[in-house]
């Protein structure tokens, strides 16, 4: 019933006059696949239904977002030196945004330049058609952020996509869609944050399609640090071409419900992908990371490290797939998932999955889960460090090496401070 | 004489097994006591109980540290009140630098005494000074605590930490084990430099050789959870020469 009402809400929205054919096509994919349930293998531990409250509403489309003081403050907490794109409930807030050359926020395909429209269509076509929530996200997004980094160029600053979800009046069902195209020898560094203001429920399925052309470099750092009533879903696909490098950093430092799908296809020789992830959860928070690294051609390299710290009654899910296709000889593919359980009520479901069809490859995977080391705790306490601080220090040490993998120093500083705050130790932030 | 540590009829054990079967001893300010004994006699258990390791249960007896009931205190409060345990096996802690660890520990000690944290400059100066005492290279400060340190480096790091925290009572749990003669001398010199009329040391060891460098005022022999003999530094030499069997026989005859 809940599911039917939800689908009904989306259907009547996409059937309204101002929604374009492409978004209706995306909706059709969503409707055909249906909402995933826990009977679906990829959603076994991740139940969407409790998040589909009848209160959810799709905000009325506007040409640009109105900004008030609270929204402004929500965007100012980061303070990164970056080109900033602020989207409120998926709609651009021009007064808070500064778009560099090559970056456009497209309200509709008809108003988009032919090249942007082509990129958006191509992205929709290249995404695998088996993910209902990705199609839902693309159907719902009122704007599309198109990032095109021209050949041989690099943005002077990182691009910070500041997603603000306004849940002060009602429970928004909204999404952001991004299409990123990094041309040959170009590079881009994208920071993607989500902040909800207000305490109502939210449901936000976001979609990112990124293409890293030969010899180009792209990094994407997603930071979910959100309210208990929020539900953030991200579906990101990266196609990485010859000698290109893609790095993803996925942080979950809070949020009632988080599901991230990251699909990386290494389609050109000597492509490289680095996947770093850190979830630090407490209370009843939930975070699910599903990753796929697909080695389609020879001589590519992927390296994945996801860590999780679970306190309270929080739950983590990690599902990491690596495919090495028959022709993908000389592949190097590594995956590691490490979990720290800080309370007896916390849970982790980890499933590494390697499918290797080539015979001359180096691949490894491993999953560990454990608790804080008693000996280390005692050692710190025996030097006068209190029990809570000792726990925080050891937990911090476990988690911090993921933060160190982020290349941007300001982002590292921000994440470090948030981590320290979350671990509840003043000492760490000093 | 001012007693720093007074142990009275201490009985303690682990997992329902009694290991210390009634230990009494008093360590006064300015003194070095050695506790010697064969393997399994309870030496490390005594160190663990004094430092507050939670897997050990105290069955009976009391331990007074300065003016307070030691056994009532958490491990961190024991440290803040001036007890220091140099670990037999210092723990490797990846991701926590030696410098940050000590900054935290020293700040906690100062807070306990109502003092503000040291400013970064003075703290760095203090660390360099104390590292010189045990001939440690300052590059260790930025390395993860004990991670990848050799046995000797770990033990020197223990003495360095001791120097930073300036305890009233330091318990050295087989600090000499696994050290070559040079490292042994460095560690002993470090300890000797810290000796004063205000503090005391309890040196736990299996062998006499450390006591050539850290000369004890009193030597206790621990056998099967009891102190069976106490004496001056010459007792250590006698043990070195004759082993532990004669004393074991002597004590069972006495009992």
- Integer Cα distance of A144 and A176 in angstroms: 7
- Integer Cα distance of A290 and A361 in angstroms: 23
Which run of H or of E encompasses A177?
strand A177-182
Interchain CB distance below 8 Å, A394 and B79: no
- Tokens for B211? 């006591």
- Integer Cα distance of A153 and A105 in angstroms: 20
Nearest 5°: the CA angle A176, A181, A187 is: 110
Instruction: Find the CB nearest B91 among A376, A387, A427.
Output: A376
User: Min CA distance, B203 vs chain A (Å)?
Assistant: 17
Interchain CB distance below 8 Å, B104 and A397: no
- Integer Cα distance of A429 and A423 in angstroms: 10
Enter the DSSP assignment of B175. Answer: T
pLDDT at A61: 78
- Tokens for B90? 């210092």
Give B203's strand partners: B34, B172
Q: Which of B105, B183, B188 is closest to B145 using CA atoms?
A: B105
User: Min CA distance, A190 vs chain B (Å)?
Assistant: 27
Interchain CB distance below 8 Å, B107 and A427: yes
**pLDDT in single tens digits along all 430 residues of chain A:** 588 999 999 999 998 877 888 999 999 999 999 999 999 999 999 999 999 999 999 998 788 888 999 999 999 999 999 999 999 999 999 999 999 988 999 988 888 999 999 999 999 998 878 889 999 999 999 999 999 999 999 988 999 999 999 999 999 999 999 999 999 999 999 999 999 999 999 999 999 999 999 999 999 999 999 999 999 999 999 999 999 999 999 999 999 999 999 999 999 999 999 999 999 999 999 999 999 999 999 999 999 999 999 999 999 999 999 999 999 999 999 999 999 999 999 999 999 999 999 999 999 999 999 999 999 999 999 999 999 999 999 999 999 999 999 999 999 999 999 998 999 876 665 4
Question: Is residue B232 helix, strand or coil?
Answer: coil
- Integer Cα distance of B251 and B255 in angstroms: 6
- Strand duo A83-88 + A159-166: pairing: parallel
Contact B1, B187 (CB under 8 A): no
User: Min CA distance, B237 vs chain A (Å)?
Assistant: 32
Taking each helix axis from N to C end, the angle separating A21-33 and A114-126, rounded to the nearest 10 degrees, works out to 10
- CB of B109 within 8 Å of a chain A CB? The answer is yes
Question: For chain A, how big is the Rg over CA atoms in Å?
Answer: 21
User: B3-90+167-254 maps to which CATH number?
Assistant: 3.40.50.300
Indicate if the alpha-carbon torsion angle B98, B101, B104, B109 is positive or negative: negative
The values of phi and psi at residue B176, to 5°, are -85, -15
- Integer Cα distance of A240 and A256 in angstroms: 32
Contact A260, A289 (CB under 8 A): yes
Residues 57-96 of A with CB under 8 A from B: none
How would you class B83 by CB atoms within 10 Å of its CB: exposed for 0-12, middle for 13-18, buried for 19 or more?
A: buried
């Amino acid at each position: 019933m809940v599911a039917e009402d939800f689908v009904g809400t989306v259907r009547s929205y996409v059937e309204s006059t101002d929604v374009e054919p492409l978004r209706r096509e995306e909706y059709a994919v969503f409707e055909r696949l249906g909402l995933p349930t826990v009977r679906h293998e990829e959603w076994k531990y991740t139940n969407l239904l409790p998040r589909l409250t009848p209160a959810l509403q799709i905000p009325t489309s506007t040409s640009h977002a109105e900004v008030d003081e609270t929204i402004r403050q929500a965007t100012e907490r980061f303070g990164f030196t970056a080109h900033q794109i602020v989207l409120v409930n998926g709609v651009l807030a021009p007064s808070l945004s500064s778009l560099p050359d090559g970056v456009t926020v497209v309200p509709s395909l008809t108003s988009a330049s032919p090249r942007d429209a082509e990129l958006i269509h191509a992205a929709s076509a290249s995404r695998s058609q088996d993910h209902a929530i990705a199609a839902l996200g693309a159907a719902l997004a009122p704007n599309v952020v198109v990032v095109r980094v021209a050949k041989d160029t690099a943005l002077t600053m990182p691009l910070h996509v500041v997603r603000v979800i306004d849940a002060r009046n009602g429970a928004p069902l909204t999404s952001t869609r991004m299409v990123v195209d990094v041309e040959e020898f170009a590079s881009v560094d994208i920071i993607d944050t989500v902040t909800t203001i207000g305490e109502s429920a939210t449901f936000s399925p976001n979609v990112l399609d990124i293409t890293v052309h030969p010899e180009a470099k792209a990094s994407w750092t997603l930071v979910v640090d959100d309210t208990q009533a929020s539900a953030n879903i991200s579906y990101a696909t990266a196609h990485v071409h010859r000698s290109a490098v893609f790095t993803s950093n996925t942080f979950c430092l809070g949020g009632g419900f988080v599901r991230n799908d990251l699909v990386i296809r290494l389609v050109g020789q000597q492509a490289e992908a680095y996947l770093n992830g850190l979830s630090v959860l407490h209370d009843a928070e939930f975070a699910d990371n599903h990753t796929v690294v697909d080695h389609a051609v020879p001589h590519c390299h992927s390296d994945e490290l996801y860590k999780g710290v679970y306190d309270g009654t929080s739950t983590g899910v990690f599902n990491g797939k690596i495919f090495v296709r028959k022709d993908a000889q000389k592949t190097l593919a590594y995956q590691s998932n490490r979990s720290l359980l800080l309370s007896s009520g916390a849970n982790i479901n980890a499933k590494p999955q390697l499918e290797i069809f080539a015979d001359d490859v180096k691949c490894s995977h491993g999953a560990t889960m454990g608790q804080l080391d008693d000996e280390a705790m005692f050692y710190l306490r025996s030097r006068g460090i209190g029990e809570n601080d000792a726990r925080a220090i050891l937990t911090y040490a476990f988690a911090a090496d993921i933060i160190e993998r982020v290349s941007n120093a300001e982002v590292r500083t921000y994440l470090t401070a948030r981590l320290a705050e979350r671990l509840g130790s003043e000492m760490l932030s000093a | 004489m001012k007693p720093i540590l007074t142990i009275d009829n201490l009985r303690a054990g682990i997992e329902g097994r009694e290991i210390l079967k009634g230990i009494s001893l008093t360590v006064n300010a300015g003194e070095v006591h050695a506790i010697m004994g064969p393997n399994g006699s309870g030496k490390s258990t005594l160190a663990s109980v004094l430092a507050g390791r939670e897997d050990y249960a105290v069955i009976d007896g009391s331990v007074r540290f300065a003016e307070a009931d030691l056994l009532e205190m958490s491990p961190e409060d024991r440290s803040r009140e001036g007890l220091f345990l140099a670990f037999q096996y210092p723990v490797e802690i990846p991701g926590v630098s030696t410098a940050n660890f000590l900054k935290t520990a020293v700040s906690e000690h100062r807070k306990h005494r109502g003092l503000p944290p040291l400013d970064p400059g003075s703290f760095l100066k203090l660390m360099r000074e104390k590292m010189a005492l045990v001939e440690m290279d300052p590059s260790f400060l930025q390395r993860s605590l004990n991670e990848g340190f050799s046995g000797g480096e770990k033990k020197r790091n223990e003495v360095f930490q001791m120097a930073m925290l300036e305890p009233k009572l330091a318990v050295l749990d087989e600090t000499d084990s696994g050290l070559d003669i040079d490292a042994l001398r460095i560690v002993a010199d470090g300890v000797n430099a810290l000796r004063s009329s205000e503090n005391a040391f309890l040196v736990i060891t299996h062998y006499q050789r450390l006591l050539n460098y850290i000369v004890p005022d009193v030597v206790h022999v621990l056998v099967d959870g009891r102190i069976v003999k106490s004496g001056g530094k010459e007792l250590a030499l006698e043990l070195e020469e004759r082993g532990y069997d004669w004393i074991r026989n002597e004590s069972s005859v006495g009992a």
